[in-house]
Amino acid sequence: MPETTPYRLAVIVSSTREGRFGTTVAQWLAAQTAQRPEMDVDVIDLADHPLPVQLSNDPSPEAAAELAKVTPRLAEADAFIVITPEYNHSYPAPLKNLIDWHYTQWQAKPVAFVSYGGLSGGLRSVEHLRPVFAELHAVTIRETVSFHSPWGQFDETGRHHDEEAGQTAANAAKTMLDQLTWWAVSLREARAVRPYGK
């Protein structure tokens, strides 16, 4: 597959809480990825996909129908960005549920993080997610973007009110996306030559 072919990036909005800030962060991220022609972005908002909590190797027809809306999109993705808040020093339950319903869909693919929260900016959530994705044979990107106490700092389109702070976040996003792109393209090429685990 030629490198000029855009790679498939799944952006996962993990919070489903009422009044969540994740959609604002997703809008901000969309402005960053829109500048990257090498990416074909698919946003998976977990609020739109309430997966069953009870895991099963033989899901009910209802569960299978919900999974059918998400699983193929994860399988087709070459890379992921997880947008996560921090709840009680960790990440949201719907995100863990999504992760646990799947396995091969994550393998040999890179995962980047955009986090938000209070003083920690959601970084404790990110650090909890790294070993989870390592267990799934995914590669987590070193650089992250984090927003510390961001409420009231963005307009309804996801634009930062403070131009200097907005530029700092955009610079961090560029570094993260550059790293994500290297891993996404490299691992896509590797999987095409030699399927992972075979």
Instruction: Provide mean pLDDT across the span 84-104.
Output: 96
Instruction: Provide mean pLDDT across the span 11-35.
Output: 96
Fold exhibited by the domain 8-193: Rossmann fold (3.40.50)
Share of the chain above pLDDT 70, in %: 98
- d(CA 95, CA 98) in angstroms, rounded, equals 5
- At 34-73, the pLDDT tens digits run 999 999 999 999 999 999 999 999 999 999 999 999 999 9
- At 187-197, the pLDDT tens digits run 999 999 999 98
Q: What is the pTM of this model?
A: 0.95
- d(CA 126, CA 140) in angstroms, rounded, equals 10
Mean pLDDT, the chain, integer: 95
pLDDT at 11 over 90: yes
At CB < 8 A and 24+ separation, what contacts does 61-64 make? none
Chain Cα centroid distance, residue 63: 22
Closest CA to 182 of 3, 2, 35: 3
Structure tokens at 59: 């899901």
- At 103-131, the pLDDT tens digits run 999 999 999 999 999 999 999 999 999 99
